[in-house]
Amino acid sequence: MCLGWLVVHWNRVCDGCRPWARRYPEVGVCPRCRHEAHLNTDGLCKPCLMAIRAEDDAEWALGLAEARPRPVQLIVGGMYGDRSADARPLRRRTKNGLKVGQGWWIKLRKQRAAPAGPPVLQAQVCGQLALFTVPRALTDATVSAIVSRPVVGWKECRPMIEAMAAEHGMSVGWQHKIAEMVRLALAVREAEGAVRLPEPMLRDLPSNGDAVRLVLLRAGLLDPAPEPMRFSTTNQPTTTYITAPAPLPPSVARSCRDCDAWLAAGKRGLRCDPCRHWRELHPAGRCVRCRRDELPLRGDRCRTRRLYRHLDDSGPAAVRATQLVIDLPRGVPGQAQLIPVAEPAPADGEDEEVSALHAARGQEPLFGMRRNWSPVMARLRRRSYRDLPLTSDARALTEELDRLRRGRQDPAYRKDIRTLTILVYWLGAETLFQERDVHDLALLDPNLAAKRVCQFLAARGLLVEDPELHRDADEMWVEATIATLPPTVADEVSLWVKVLRGQGRREHEARSYDGIRRYLTSLQPVLTAWSRSGITTLRQITSANAATAVDDLTGSARRQLAISLRSLFKALRQERVVFRDPTRTLPVGDLKGIPKSVPSDLLATLLDRATTPLGRLIVALTAVHALPGHEMPTLLTCDLNLAHGTLEARRGLLRHTLYIEEFTHGLAAEWLTYRHRRWPASTNPHLLVSQRTALDPDHPPVSMTMLHRHLPKGFTLDGLRQDRILNEAFETGDPLKLMRLFGITEKTAMHYVGVAHPEKTSQLPR
């Protein structure tokens, strides 16, 4: 509650906050610190009440309107016997109402009457020459006055101080002292209006002038004197300010000279700590196992080879390899464990009856690379996945997936079982599976599947996801298409894509990648033709080039290309890449088609030809309520209210409510009953689901292809919707009713009314 750093026993609330919360149960946002907490009668939280009294914050004690918010004060250690809950409020109740003590008004007047000190080392105009140069009296008070001021050049000097401290082994206190003097010298440079500080001005520094000279000289912010100057007042040395010590071994990745273990990064020396202690205890000689000389030995073996004596005693070996060791900063206490004797090698052909080598839990690969599953599949081609030997954990994992997929009535579940069995057989059940490995394995055999296996492993924390597999397909297509263009044109088209995504100079709503893909699909042939003709940048495009590009096209193709070209060059002009828009006079055209009605004889048998509950509901939503086809996959089950007879369609931040009649109500109830009986375990929130999406843990919406497949042959969603709106326009002729009933715009409603009743418009069709 109070965000104090202290020891809290048994619960997460300190001894002072518990009685405060009981006495003031009201929770709100404190106006002083802007944090949510329990507020007292003054409307303040406990830390702010304590800070007001500790710091004499008269503005907030009086509750002035001009008082600015304050940061939360850090409390370290807490207080035993905290009696802040019993503290008197700032505003006390009197017979005239709430009143603040007179002492706070006196403190406020004193605080506001305190004169501000003169400016310290005020920055001057850069390049201005001083008429008279006067020595400055720089003290520790001057350093304190500029401690919170941003100083130009500090970012360049700070790495130099750290490099000098690391190079010569200086302490942290030395770095802080030199940093204060460097900031002071930079402030003097700004006060003098100089680009580089003249070296004689370093005489005014209180101390460490020689070190500041080297820092500014390395950062390029010092105007050096003809001869190097010294600023130490006593015991002038004859050598340089800092002498270079003997070079230390480089702090790079290397191995120990005795045991060949990889040393930790940043560690000095040529040997690890265990080998240094081992060398102090044992004499040097020749190891009988690794055949190396000048190593400290115990029992004729060096430190690391001594652990292998049981392995060597079990039988002779032609090759005596040693496992790679990494010298960790901290090891496991106790005596080192000996390497156990390995089991005898399998006979010829026996390796097919045992599982492959598995990685232990928590073990990470030393070098990561993409796995090639072709040899594994060639080895398992003639074997059934049921015959593969599995460990107990692996078999439990496959049986769990078998129960899950079999219970969901998915006919393709055997592909998932087969894929998971191969994975756990080859990699083990205790490792983390790479998502790329699962997909690469599934690509080699049509009887394997990857998506549901990845979902199963991810739900149990056994999957390492690959971000490349979750990227938008349209985004990847756009990037691949841009990569085929010349470099300059590709950069300009990429800038256009960023503008459409809302990342340009002017903020606007981002366009989806599928819309950008439609634009780029029409632009790609034109951009390729311009590149082949010798155009290296879109700055060379003229109005004639744009007009020539659209002259050979007609209809919707010409209109789509014209819109795409205007969008491209409008974005480039907005980003100041082109000076003039060559497509500003390019005619786009207005292709307003006349809506067509569906013949009555076909409409009469439409519902009878829809054979599934889903198909009948789609027909009702389209032919009765004129719901657009692209909005049907986004409908949610929670938006359907059968009790009130409503269905909400989400259109961005807007909502359009459909008042379903008895006919559509019955079809919706029939579909919900059918869905529950067929997929009782489905958690997909969408109203319309299919066999593929009902049990998918990712909860995807149905595709437009599936909606068209459930429609009777010869009908389209757009055609049924146009017929419904046109029929209502014939009946009423009121555009406002069309807008309220179908949720269409004013322009669309007037277009349908104009088609249905041309006599109500100013222009009659010819």
pLDDT tens track for 550-574:
988 888 888 899 999 999 999 999 9
- Residue 351 above 50 pLDDT? no
Q: What was the pLDDT predicted at 459?
A: 87
Give the pLDDT score at 350: 40
Q: CA dist 258 to 261, 277, 302, 324, 334, Å? A: 8, 12, 9, 13, 22
Q: Residue 688: pLDDT above 90?
A: yes
Q: Please report, rounded to a whole number, the percentage of residues in the chain having pLDDT higher than 70.
A: 82
Select from 399, 451, 417, 420 the least CA-distant residue to 695. 451
- 641-654: average pLDDT: 89
Q: Does the pLDDT at position 244 exceed 70?
A: no
Question: Which residues 6+ apart lie within 8 Å of 133 measured at CB?
Answer: none
pLDDT band at 84 (very low <50, low <70, confident <90, very high): confident
Which residues make beta-bridge pairs with 484? none
pLDDT over 90 (residue 505): no
Take residue 71 and report the two structure tokens written for it: 């940061």
Measured CA to CA, the distance from residue 35 to residue 27 in angstroms comes to: 10
Report yes or no: 414 and 445 within 8 Å, Cβ to Cβ. Answer: no
Judging by DSSP bridges, how do beta strands 91-94 and 646-651 pair with one another?
unpaired
Distance CA 170, CA 176 (A): 11
Among 255-269, 305-319, 342-356, 483-497, the least confident range: 342-356
Is the model more confident about 298 or about 330?
A: 298
In 561-672, where do the E strands start and end? 640-641, 646-651, 654-659
What does DSSP say about strands 463-464 and 433-434: parallel, antiparallel, or unpaired? Answer: parallel
**pLDDT for position 439:** 92
pLDDT digits (tens, 9 = 90+) for 190-204: 888 888 888 888 888
Q: With 50 as the cut, is the pLDDT of residue 65 above it?
A: yes
Predicted confidence at residue 497, as pLDDT, reads 94
pTM of the full structure? 0.49
Which whole number is the average pLDDT over 648-653? 86
Strand partners, 4: none
Band (312; pLDDT cuts 50, 70, 90): low
Is the predicted pLDDT of residue 18 greater than 60, yes or no? yes
Is 189 in a helix, a strand, or coil?
A: helix
Pick the more confident residue, 757 or 493: 493
Tell me the pLDDT band of 489, cut-offs 50, 70 and 90. Answer: very high
- Residue 617's pLDDT is 92
For the chain, what is the largest distance between any 2 Cα atoms, rounded to a whole number of angstroms? 113
pLDDT in tens, 740-756: 999 999 988 898 888 88
Q: Does the pLDDT of residue 120 top 80, yes or no?
A: no
Identity of the residue numbered 158:
R
CB atoms within 10 A of CB 527: 24
Q: What is the pLDDT of residues 588-613, one digit of tens each?
A: 865 556 666 666 656 656 777 888 89
The stretches of 341-450 forming alpha helices (DSSP H) are: 374-379, 392-407, 413-427, 435-442
Average pLDDT estimate for 509-516: 88
Distance, CA of 192 to CA of 452 (rounded, Å): 70
Per-residue pLDDT reduced to its tens digit, 354-366: 455 566 666 677 7
CA atoms of 296 and 80, how far apart (whole Å): 58
Q: Average pLDDT for residues 301-329, to the nearest whole number? A: 66
Task: Specify the pLDDT at position 9.
Answer: 67
**How much of the chain, in percent, has pLDDT values that exceed 90?**
20
Q: Return the pLDDT at 674.
A: 93
